[in-house]
Chains A and B, each alone.
Chain A
Amino acid sequence: MDAPLIRMEGIHKAFGPVKVLEGVDFELLSGEVHALMGENGAGKSTLMKILTGIYAPDEGRILVDGKPVTITTPADAERYGIAIIHQELNLIPSLTIADNLFLGRELHRFGLLDRKAMRERAKEWLARIGMSALDPDTRIEKLSVGQQQMVEIARAIGQNARAIIMDEPTAALTERETTTLFALIRDLRTQGAGIVYVSHRMEEIFALCDRISVLRDGKFVGTRPVPGLELDEVVRMMVGRTLEARFPKRTSTPGEVLLKVEGIGDGAVHDVSFDLRAGEVLGVAGLMGAGRTELARLLFGIDKPTQGRVLLDGKPLTARSPNEAIHAGFGFVTEDRKALGLVLDMSLRENVSLPKVPAHAGLVDRGSEKKQTRGLIDQLKIRTRDMELDVRALSGGNQQKVVLAKWLALKPRVLILDEPTRGVDVGGKAEIYHIINQLAEQGVAILMISSELPEVLAMSDRILVMHEGHATALLDAATATQETIMRAATGGK
């Protein structure tokens, strides 16, 4: 039998006193898609950073084709045919596809750029991944996120990568783009490439991957072949215990209508109407670009509606800024926690109290601020040593809880959640669902935007489906299925 394409043995890595990896083994074969799983902070990223030469391991060795190699820089990794497609794409928006594909390794003749050769070669690479429809002269900024990802993959192919690491590749993709990506991944597998697939989305992993390796708290838990594997077992491997359920049971009963939205719209949202009751969770489903986040922005006073109106308690509401919306009782957990949800260089305490600093006459009341923060840390089970640490140092799941904590401190009446569990691991998700339930029980009206259909179905009372800015369906969650939602989300009847 051939040696595995890549083998990592007994990898140790510590940052100062903190051990991030303790004796991790990992093996990638040619022609397999291998899922790397684990909760946030389990060490997945660090392991992949070691494989791609960003960090050096403290102990352990890496073998490529059975031969020990030293990988200390990204250039080393590239030489051994290892490429990574990052979650945050590394392309320069103002340059063309061809420019990006050859960034840093431009073809030239007598010191002058050989644009013709680069264009030809770019076409070749794009054709190899089934993207010959893309013109190499198109600027990156004109492409959709999915297309940009394809360009990244083309770049990896162009570097003759045989091992390709994909970190949450579908996080920003539409349904159709995801299908295209999966077809490409299967195609690369047939051509003999090995793919490391890092994701939190169980459905995708079971549909796509051949084997699963799980890390927990920096230790290697095990590798299992996917055929015959139960979801419960994967979850148990990841969290070290059996979760009672992926989704907790909904317990609240909707009360009075709190928010009434009548034909609201602007450029991206058209004539959307719905009621939202106290204690109700209204899921908002739809594809990327369906106008869901835009709807939330209208309600929260970030963008100005050009049509329709919003009634709170039966009284017309015109929030012209987030500040006014907050005063009216709204909270908004934004989709992109790093760009929109948190001030990364501020402490947990300061982030939590940003919407409303406990103060008297403008003077900060440090004592009650600390008390409030401590209460929220306990309530949300935020794992941190110290509330004075910058939130930058927290894991993704804990950061997301800080964003939630910000709004809980305010006791909002209407809480808008935009992808509340994106990039959060299984255990963290369950905790966030639990919090959503608790809030609904307390009578908070919740609007939950989510791209994960199982989540929308399990956590909502009703589901608003959007397509190209229009509300195409308002379904009862008890009777809705993934199929009925998808039909409405794609504009079908």
Chain B
Amino acid sequence: MTTRFSWNGSLALIQRLGSVIGLMLLFIVLSIMSPEFLTTGNLLTVLRQVSINALIAFGMTFVILAGGIDLSVGAILALSGAVTAGLMAAGHGVVLAVVAGLGLGALLGVINGALVSWGRVAPFIATLGTMTLIRGLTLSYTEGRPIPVTNNGFALLGGGYVGQLIPIPVVLMFVVFAVCGFLLRGTVFGRHVVAIGGNEEASRLSGVRISPMKLAIYGLSGLLSAFAGVVLTSRLYSAQATAGVGYELDAIAAVVLGGTSLSGGRGWLFGTLIGALLIGFLNNGLNLLGVSSFYQQVVKGIVILIAVLLDRR
């Protein structure tokens, strides 16, 4: 005899809009406190910085919605970037190098999925293992040295502009957001992602094929991490073995700030975009205000905790 009424509707809406309201407040405060903040140049710079985290966080949203977690995203970013740069340095074409980098990322993601589904390893442990392993592979592959990018065409991917104004990574971020958003809300795949996170056993008994789904979900996360790695490598003109250290935490923070439940089954992609923007603008604002980087971390931590506290229900 459960209760027959529901506050779900209105309450969920307020909670969902919480991150949007937070972002707007931040915008207003920063606009007042710093004259440089609300300039096209500054905003686009922040968006470009945010794009890397957002790309990873989009994939992470699928993983978390399905009740999992992926700690290996930063490591995959580094290895994929290094392999792409390495292939180009060895004289291969841009297309081959990029495709190889992306394919590698997807493959590593699928391996995560296999460990989680067939191997029945807890996602946290499985991806902690592959994270360490992939970091090691990246260090061996690069021998610890940066691999410079010499191809100017490739450098456009991260450093170029559309209409001489909007950075290409920003455009890529919105394109990937649109595609992923449709994947989540408009396809059977997306429906099954949420169902698995909501109740894996009920989904299995309803005929959802759990293992292939998990391979695809972690594969998607790997692919998007690799994509972020390729873009980052292009923007920085070089690939580094230590690229993306700690990015998994920023991605998870963006997802959670956006209102997606860490226990899976509830969440949305738009929230993740807002979460990533929040983190980006917060960093930028604190920089502009001359807050020391030590305190920046403190502030970021507090914001994340407040968001999670508000998300309880």
A45 touches B8 (CB 8 A): no
Interface locus among A268-276, A333-341, A436-444: A333-341
**Closest A residue to B6 using CB positions:** A393
* Docked complex Cα distance between A42 and B208 (Å): 35
**Which A residues touch B198, using CB under 8 A?**
343-346
B3 touches A340 (CB 8 A): no
**Closest A residue to B201 using CB positions:** A340
B187 touches A20 (CB 8 A): no
Taking a contact as CB atoms closer than 8 A, the residue among A16, A45, A321, A393 that contacts B209 in the complex is A321
Given known contacts A340-B205, A342-B199, A393-B2, A363 and B187 CB-to-CB distance under 8 angstroms: yes
Report the minimum CB–CB distance from A338 to chain B (whole Å). 9
Name which of B3, B187, B195 has the most chain A CB atoms within 10 A of its CB: B3
Given known contacts A344-B198, A345-B265, A346-B198, A355 and B206 CB-to-CB distance under 8 angstroms: yes
B202 within 8 A of A: yes
Interface residues of B in 199-221 (CB under 8 A from A): 199, 201-209
A41 touches B4 (CB 8 A): yes
Report the minimum CB–CB distance from B41 to chain A (whole Å). 40
A322 touches B204 (CB 8 A): yes
How many residues in A have their beta carbons less than 8 Å from beta carbons of B? 49
* Docked complex Cα distance between A345 and B204 (Å): 16
B163 within 8 A of A: no
**Closest B residue to A399 using CB positions:** B2
**Which A residues touch B266, using CB under 8 A?**
345
* Docked complex Cα distance between A364 and B191 (Å): 9
**Which A residues touch B265, using CB under 8 A?**
343, 345-346
**Which A residues touch B208, using CB under 8 A?**
323, 354
B191 touches A362 (CB 8 A): no
A350 within 8 A of B: yes
Report the minimum CB–CB distance from B305 to chain A (whole Å). 24
Report the minimum CB–CB distance from A326 to chain B (whole Å). 4
B27 within 8 A of A: no
A390 within 8 A of B: yes
Given known contacts A44-B1, A322-B206, A354-B203, A389 and B195 CB-to-CB distance under 8 angstroms: no
A15 within 8 A of B: yes
**Closest B residue to A321 using CB positions:** B209
B207 touches A356 (CB 8 A): yes
B295 within 8 A of A: no
* Docked complex Cα distance between A395 and B2 (Å): 5
Report the minimum CB–CB distance from A190 to chain B (whole Å). 30
Q: Which B residues are within 8 Å of any A CB, using their own CB?
A: 1-9, 186-189, 191, 194-195, 198-199, 201-209, 265-266
Q: Which A residues are within 8 Å of any B CB, using their own CB?
A: 15-18, 20, 40-46, 300, 302, 321-323, 325-327, 332, 334, 339-346, 350, 353-357, 359, 362-364, 389-390, 392-396, 399, 406
Closest 10 CB pairs of A and B: A343-B198, A18-B5, A393-B6, A326-B207, A354-B206, A45-B1, A343-B199, A323-B207, A355-B206, A357-B188
Could you pull out 20 A-B pairs where Cβ atoms are within 8 angstroms? A16-B5, A302-B204, A302-B205, A322-B207, A340-B201, A341-B202, A342-B199, A343-B195, A343-B202, A345-B265, A354-B191, A354-B203, A356-B207, A357-B188, A357-B191, A363-B188, A393-B2, A393-B3, A393-B6, A395-B2
